[in-house]
């Protein structure tokens, strides 16, 4: 949109500068190819580099927009917020700033949605909220997502991004790994489908629980996926890791993911997979 008065001559130096500033859009540099791209161009292209196809991180709401049928996403448990249960230093501030930064109440959003007309329960983790770390609220929302899907006999479609279990909630964060895995197992034992898309980065306690428990595991190109973080491994083995270690492509090579799923065709791939599991012929 062209703002009003754009072509009007500036009355003074200050006014002139203001108009110019409004139009300098911040650019991002692609870490893979160095291409300079504006935030809006990137958004338009679903946070994928226009030149080399590098997948930038993406907010949970943007993902829902990309994947779910228009206006089909009905969010659930949106009001759940974390408390500083252990009185952990700095956690209150961290929660406050994460809320402000992400615009979300916690590190995952859950809802019922339709994808290509297929009803499902979706969970999408949020990188801007403490890098999607799993505390008690994230664990509870994901558990509820699987329990609801089991009750309604719906598939679950999940998108992971996480630094792992959330340190600030101590052992209760660790327990979420067992809790979510229990709910995934019940959903699975009921004969229902769980598709998970691993996005950059998916590590730690999330990798070691529901991220790796899908019937079908997809990963976005270049995504870092692992149990231990690369820095921890390097400190342990006192060596630099080879290029490409723990990327989605590395996992594909080693047999741990079913397919790489670039964002451009991701919705179609998911619709096809959902259709292949649909009971209607």
Partner 1 sequence: MEAYEKVLAARAKGRPTAIEYINNIFTDFQELHGDRRYGDDGAIIGGIGRLCGMPVTVIAQEKGSSTKDKIARNFGSPNPEGYRKALRLMKQAEKFRRPVICFVDTSGAYPGMGAEERGQGLAIAENLMEMGTLKTPVISILIGEGGSGGALALAVSDEVWMMENSIYSVISPEGCASILWRDAKKVKEASECLRLTADDLYEMGVIERIIPESDKDFSAAYLLLQTWLKKAVDDRKGISTDELLEKRYERFRKFGAR
CB of 86 to partner 1, least distance (A): 6
Rounded CA separation 120/99 (Å): 27
To which residue do tokens 């997948």 refer? 55
- Closest among 115, 181, 182 to 154, alpha carbons compared: 115
118-130 burial code (b ≥16 CB/10 A, e <16): bbbbbbbbbbbbb
Which residue number, 131 or 154, has a Cβ lying nearer to partner 1?
A: 131
SS3 call for 29: strand
Question: Which residue in this structure is represented by tokens 């990963």?
Answer: 219
Whichever of 37 and 183 has its CB closer to partner 1, that residue is 183
Q: Which is nearer to partner 1, 49 or 105 (CB)?
A: 105
Which residues lie closer than 8 Å to 220 by C-beta, 6 or more apart? Answer: 55, 197, 198, 199, 200, 248, 260, 261, 262, 263, 266
Q: Tell me the two tokens of residue 58.
A: 């993406």
Site of interaction with partner 1 (CB under 8 A): 80, 82, 86, 88-90, 135-137, 139-140, 143, 165-167, 169-179, 181-186, 188-189, 204-205, 207-213, 225-229, 232-233, 236-237, 241, 245-246, 254, 256
The answer to whether 119 touches 154, Cβ cutoff 8 Å, is: yes
- Output the smallest distance, CB 251 to partner 1, in A: 9
The nearer residue to partner 1, 30 or 184, going by C-beta atoms, is: 184
Closer CB to partner 1, 119 or 172, in the complex: 172
Report the nearest approach of partner 1 to the CB of residue 278 (Å).
25
Residue closer to partner 1 by CB (options 184, 273) is 184
Which runs of E-coded beta strand occur in the chain?
27-29, 36-38, 74-76, 108-115, 118-125, 156-162, 194-202, 216-219, 259-260
Distance of closest approach, residue 221 Cβ to partner 1, in angstroms = 19
| CB of 257 vs partner 1, minimal distance in Å | 10
CB of 277 to partner 1, least distance (A): 20
Q: How far is the CB of 181 from partner 1 (least distance, A)?
A: 4
Half-sphere exposure of 201 (CA within 13 A, CB side): 17
> Beta-strand (E) ranges in 156-238?
156-162, 194-202, 216-219
Question: Which is nearer to partner 1, 49 or 196 (by Cβ)?
Answer: 196
């Amino acid at each position: 949109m062209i703002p009003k008065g754009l072509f009007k001559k500036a009355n003074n130096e200050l006014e002139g500068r203001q108009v110019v500033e409004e139009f300098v859009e911040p650019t991002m540099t692609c870490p893979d190819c160095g291409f300079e791209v504006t935030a809006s161009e990137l958004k338009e292209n679903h946070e994928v580099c226009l030149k080399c196809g590098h997948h930038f991180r993406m907010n949970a709401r943007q993902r829902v927009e990309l994947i779910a049928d228009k206006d089909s996403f009905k969010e659930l448990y949106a009001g759940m917020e974390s408390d500083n249960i252990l009185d952990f230093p700095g956690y209150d501030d961290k929660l406050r700033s994460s809320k402000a930064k992400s615009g979300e109440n916690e590190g995952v959003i859950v809802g019922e949605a339709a994808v290509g007309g297929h009803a499902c329960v979706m969970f999408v983790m949020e990188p801007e909220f403490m890098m999607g770390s799993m505390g008690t609220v994230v664990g509870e929302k994901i558990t509820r997502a699987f329990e609801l899907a089991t009750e309604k006999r719906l598939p679950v479609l999940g998108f992971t991004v996480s630094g792992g279990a959330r340190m600030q909630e101590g052992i209760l964060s660790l327990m979420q790994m067992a809790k979510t895995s229990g709910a995934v197992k019940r959903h699975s034992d009921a004969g229902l489908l769980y598709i998970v898309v691993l996005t950059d980065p998916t590590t730690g306690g999330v990798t070691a629980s529901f991220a790796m428990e899908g019937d079908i595991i997809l990963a976005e190109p270049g995504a870092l996926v692992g149990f231990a973080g690369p820095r921890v491994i390097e400190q342990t083995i006192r060596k630099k890791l080879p290029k490409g270690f723990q990327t989605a492509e590395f996992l594909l090579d080693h047999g741990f993911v079913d397919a790489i799923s670039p964002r451009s065709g991701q919705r179609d791939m998911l619709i096809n997979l959902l259709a292949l599991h649909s009971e209607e012929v």
